[in-house]
Structure 1
Amino acid sequence: MIFYRQNLTDIQLLDLYKKILKPRLIEEKMLILIRQGKVSKWFSGIGQEAIAVGVTAVLDQSEYILPMHRNLGVFTTREIPLHRLFSQWQGKANGFTKGRDRSFHFGTQEYNIIGMISHLGPQLGIADGIALANKLQDNKKITAVFTGEGATSEGDFHEALNIAAVWKLPVMFIIENNGYGLSTPTNEQYACENLADKGIGYGIESWIIDGNNIVEVYNKLSQLKEEMKENPRPILLEFKTFRMRGHEEASGTKYVPQELMDQWELRDPVSNYQKYLKENGILTEELDEQFRAEIKQEIDENWTKANAEPEIEPTYSGELDDVYKPYQFEEVNTESETENIRFIDAIRNGLNESMQRHKNLVLMGQDIAEYGGAFKITDGFVEFFGKDRVRNTPICESAIVSTAMGLSINNYKAIVEMQFADFVSTGFNPIVNLLAKSHYRWGEKADVVVRMPCGGGTQAGPFHSQTNEAWFTKTPGLKVVYPAFPYDAKGLLNTSINDPNPVLFFEHKLLYRSIYQDVPKEYYTIPLGKAALIKEGKSVTIISFGAPVHWALETLANNPEIDADLIDLRTLQPLDTETIFASVKKTGKAIIYQEDTLFGGIASDISALIMENCFEYLDAPVKRVASLDSPIPFTKALEDQFLPRNRFETALKELLDY
């Protein structure tokens, strides 16, 4: 291995040696402890330290790094106190996840490190969002994100590279090509000779670097960083390296040919660099021993400190209180003049006013800029707010949701428009595994609203008509809003944007241009988790949301003798059980009316809650009315049969007659 020091001083070379030596000595300690049963699981980065250390040494402390679970050198080079790392690995409260996640599945704003989730791919999109925020601020900062050769097969990899290329984002995409994805060799992962070649398809500059040569890593990335500061752009970096231990210690390395292990052992990044420094009179044996003794003492002292910490004492409140970032609702009332506007106008006005109120709010979605979106809600926004804040996106829902998370991490707010709610399926993973869990896992907000044009009644067929709120009400950490009236739509949207937690905001397409209401012209807010009692009666409680609220009103108008409470839930998570229970205890009968298919819909949970909390007040079983348990069809006759609109009146009367 040849080291070209270029302009590096002896002090810099020795500093790099101490930085690469530290994670190696920690790993050697961990391997002993795991054999002693004192550490439960370990993902070794032995043989790859030069990449993590080199990248981190090049970046400033204020620049974000997104590592993986084999990048101990990122954390040690950022000088995180070892006892906190050890606490994290041992599931202690002083770790970064309070025992909720393991190893390096965490982030820390204090050290500008954003950790991985096991699905790997979304962190590439997060890097895009962080870099976009940097670019909008013109602060010349670079973002570095790690992935492995196996994860380059994931769709998120391609989506993130494409976004970065189109938007010219200053991201270093770092591929640690260590030969194996768990046990699968590279020849079974991809057919191209080098992963760096994939950059060509996206118009991205790419380089192949010896990932075991700390000096080459440091010098090349230092050069590229300076270039990227003056000419912001993404760069794809393939680091050739090898994993000398198993995927994790329990898996071993029996699947690796011994000659390959022997070959890479000769290229060990620590011992080769040590040899170079000694041969050139930069590192003496005495100094080397001093470095090792100091690091080992630091390790032992911090290990003792971490072990002295008590085990976590679980509490229900401790767990549940951290699912969402605490948010103090800001009530804004207005006495302004009202105007009679459509549902779609209320959404547009809310977006407009929130964009003016929050200068760090960015809108992203397909065709939302000059075209104004599929439903023309953002028509004219580009002229007023500019293309930096109203951004057309490639067709790639997953990476765009992750990009929104990156914006949030870097102190922006983001709204992602799904062109149709159905398309959220291709962005499902980052919503339910990234946005929803980040605050619970390591205390990081996900200040993202996902707008969801949804619903049937327009003969749009199976891929443009679903109302899929139940996919998300099931997921702790998400808030789900589903207004039925223009006044609520505007006020709830404003609150959703203010709330630092992830919100799925459902907008029924059938209501866009059919429902009018007097709405204040100025800004106002409505709290999430508060239902609206829009009709009062004593005989039955009707619980609904979205378009079925209007269908229920039609039914009651056609049957004036029915004396009903009609509750419009408005938000599904959090759910206003207080209003539901109070009404059911008064009327003794309850019917839940949803557009979603019956089995597994939120009506089932509401029914169960009523049975558990109001059983002694009930005079009849709780009824649910919903769409057929089939995909939603296209032809009008079939769609009319699918939707519950024609079945509700019969079900309501049957309940009243019980």
Structure 2
Amino acid sequence: MNFERRNLTDEQLLDLYKRLLKPRLIEEKMLILIRQGKVSKWFSGIGQEAISVGITAVLGEDEYILPMHRNLGVFTGRDIPLYRLFSQWQGKAAGFTKGRDRSFHFGTQEYNIIGMISHLGPQLGVADGIALANKLKKNKKVCAVFTGEGATSEGDFHEALNIASVWDLPVLFIIENNGYGLSTPTREQYRCENLADRGIGYGMEAHILDGNNILEVYNELSDIVASMREKPRPVLIEFKTFRMRGHEEASGTKYVPQELMDLWAEKDPVDNYRRYLTKQGVLRPEKDEKWREDIKAEIDDNLMIANTEAEIVADQEVELGDVYKPYEFELVTPGEETENIRYVDAVSQGLRQSMQRHDNLVIMGQDIAEYGGAFKVTDGFVAEFGKERVINTPICESAVVSAGMGLSINGYKAIVEMQFADFVSTGFNPIVNYLAKVHYRWNEKADVVVRMPCGGGTQAGPFHSQTNEAWFTKTPGLKVVYPAFPYDAKGLLNASINDPNPVMYFEHKLLYRSVYQDVPKDYYTIELGKATRLREGKDVTIIAFGAAVHWALETLDLNPEISADLIDLRTLQPLDKDTVYASVKKTSKCIILQEDSMFGGIASDISAMIMEDCFEYLDGPVKRVASLDSPIPFTKALEDQYLPKGRFETALKELMAY
């Protein structure tokens, strides 16, 4: 192994050695503890330490790093107290996840480290968002994100590289090519000669470095990172290295040829660097031994702290209380001046006034800039707010949602527009596995609103007409808003943007230009989780949301003899149980109308809740009316049959006659 010190001082050389030594000695201790049954799971980075150590040494402490589960050197390089790491691995409270997630699945704003999730790919898009925030701040900071050669096959990898390249984001993409994805060798994972070659396709600078040579890592990255700070751009680095242990310890390495293990053992980054320093007269054996003793003592002392820490005691109230970030709603009352505007105008007006109110608010979506979006909601926004805050995106919903998360991490608010709610399926993973869980896992907010133009009635067919709120009401950690009127659309959107929790904000396309209402001209908010009673009655409770509210109103207008409470939920998560229950207890009958197909829809849960909590008040079964359990069709006759509007009146009258 060829080491070149360049202009590094002896102190710098020794500092890098100490940085290498600590994670290696911690790993050796962990392997002993695993055999003793004191640690349940371990993902070893033995043989790869030079990459984590080198990158962490190059970056400033205030620059974000997004590591994976073999990057212990990142955590030790940021001087996280070892007892906190040990507590994290033991699932204790002094760790970073309160026992809710394991190993390196955590982040910490205190140390500017943003941890992974098991789906791997989304963190690359998160790095894009962090880097976008850095670029908006003009702070000349770089963000580094790790991935393995296996995850480069994920769509998120390609989406994130494409976005970073198109937007000139200062992201250092790190590929640790360690030979195997669990047991799958690289020859079965990709066919290009080098993964760095993939940078060419994205117009991205790329390099191949020896991941076991700490001086090559440090020196080359020092030059690259300095250049990135002055000229913001993404750079892809493929580090050639090897995993000397199993994917995790239980996996073993029997699938690896012994001659390959022997070859890479000779390239050990710690042993080779120690021999180099000794040969150069920089490191004396007695100093090396002293450092090892000191680090081992530090490990033992901190293990003692973690071992003596009490086990976590389950507390249901605490668990449920951490699903969402606590938030003090700010009620802003509207002024008296109003104008009669369409639903789409109210949404646009809310967005504009929120952009004026929050100078850290960024909107991202396909064709939303000069074109103004598919429904012209953001028409004129670029002229007022600039392309830095109103950003056209490539067609890559997953990485864009992840970038919204990265913006939130780095001090911004993000709105992501799905061109149609149907397209959210390609961004589903980061929504339900990252945004929804991040506060519960490690106390981080996800200040992201995902706008969802949805719904049928426009003969747009199976891929542009879904109302898919049930995909998200099932996911703890998300808030789901679904207004039916322009007044509510504006006030609830403003409140959603203020809320630091992730919000899925549904806007029914059929209502965009068909529903008008007098709406205050100035900024105001409506609290999430509060339903509204549109009609007052004594015989039946009708519960609806979105376009279904208007279908219910039409039905009641045609049947004035029916005395009904009509409840517009407005927010599906959190759900206003109090208003629903109070109405049902008064009328003793209930019918729920939703546009989504029947099975698995939110009407089913509301029905079950009423049956469980209000059973003694009921004078009939809780009825559900919904679309057919089929995909939504295109032709008008088929779509009319699919939608529940035509069946609602009959079901309502049947319930009244029960």
Q: TM-score range by the shorter chain?
A: over 0.9
> Offset at 1:292?
0.3
In the aligned structure 2, how far is the partner of 1:66 from the partner of 1:216? 21
Q: Deviations over 1:68-107 (max 9, x none)?
A: 0000000000000000000000000110000000000000
In the aligned structure 1, how far is the partner of 2:150 from the partner of 2:462? 34
Paired position in structure 1 for 2:151: 151
- Residue 310 of structure 2: SS of its match in structure 1? coil
> What letter is aligned with 1:650?
T
* 1:184-583 equivalence runs, <5 A: 184-583=184-583
Runs (5+) with no aligned partner, structure 1: none
| Large movers: runs of 4+ above 3 Å | none
In the aligned structure 2, how far is the partner of 1:154 from the partner of 1:560? 57
The reply on whether 1:39 has 2:55 as its aligned counterpart is no
In the aligned structure 2, how far is the partner of 1:590 from the partner of 1:263? 72
Whether the 8 Å CA contact 2:337–2:521 is kept in 1: the answer is yes
In the aligned structure 2, how far is the partner of 1:112 from the partner of 1:613? 46
Runs (5+) with no aligned partner, structure 2: none
- Residue 237 of structure 2: SS of its match in structure 1? strand
In the aligned structure 1, how far is the partner of 2:336 from the partner of 2:64? 44
Paired position in structure 2 for 1:97: 97
- Residue 612 of structure 2: SS of its match in structure 1? helix
> Offset at 1:230?
1.0
Q: Deviations over 1:147-189 (max 9, x none)?
A: 0000000000000000000000000000000000000000000
Q: Deviations over 1:566-606 (max 9, x none)?
A: 00000000000000000000000000000000000000000
Q: Deviations over 1:383-413 (max 9, x none)?
A: 0000000000000000000000000000000
In the aligned structure 2, how far is the partner of 1:236 from the partner of 1:334? 50
- Residue 147 of structure 1: SS of its match in structure 2? strand
Q: Deviations over 1:35-89 (max 9, x none)?
A: 0000000000000000000000000000000000000000000000000000000
Paired position in structure 2 for 1:589: 589
> What letter is aligned with 1:358?
H
In the aligned structure 2, how far is the partner of 1:53 from the partner of 1:125? 23
Number of equivalent positions: 658
Paired position in structure 2 for 1:123: 123
> What letter is aligned with 2:256?
V
- Residue 614 of structure 2: SS of its match in structure 1? helix
In the aligned structure 2, how far is the partner of 1:579 from the partner of 1:305? 50
> Offset at 1:336?
3.2
In the aligned structure 1, how far is the partner of 2:335 from the partner of 2:456? 35
> What letter is aligned with 1:152?
T
In the aligned structure 2, how far is the partner of 1:608 from the partner of 1:20? 57
- Residue 374 of structure 2: SS of its match in structure 1? coil
Q: Deviations over 1:588-642 (max 9, x none)?
A: 0000000000000000000000000000000001000000000000000000000
Paired position in structure 1 for 2:622: 622
In the aligned structure 2, how far is the partner of 1:637 from the partner of 1:191? 50
In the aligned structure 2, how far is the partner of 1:380 from the partner of 1:535? 38
In the aligned structure 1, how far is the partner of 2:94 from the partner of 2:515? 53
Paired position in structure 1 for 2:170: 170
Whether the 8 Å CA contact 2:365–2:416 is kept in 1: the answer is yes
Q: Deviations over 1:503-554 (max 9, x none)?
A: 0000000000000000000000000000000101000000000001000000
- Residue 324 of structure 2: SS of its match in structure 1? coil
Percent same amino acid among aligned pairs? 80
> What letter is aligned with 2:382?
V
* TM-score normalized with structure 2 length: 1.00
Paired position in structure 2 for 1:71: 71
Whether the 8 Å CA contact 2:335–2:521 is kept in 1: the answer is no
In the aligned structure 1, how far is the partner of 2:182 from the partner of 2:406? 28
- Residue 450 of structure 1: SS of its match in structure 2? strand
> Offset at 1:354?
0.1
> What letter is aligned with 2:518?
D
In the aligned structure 1, how far is the partner of 2:206 from the partner of 2:151? 17
Paired position in structure 1 for 2:53: 53
Whether the 8 Å CA contact 2:448–2:503 is kept in 1: the answer is yes
In the aligned structure 2, how far is the partner of 1:551 from the partner of 1:495? 26
In the aligned structure 1, how far is the partner of 2:109 from the partner of 2:56? 15
- Residue 647 of structure 1: SS of its match in structure 2? helix
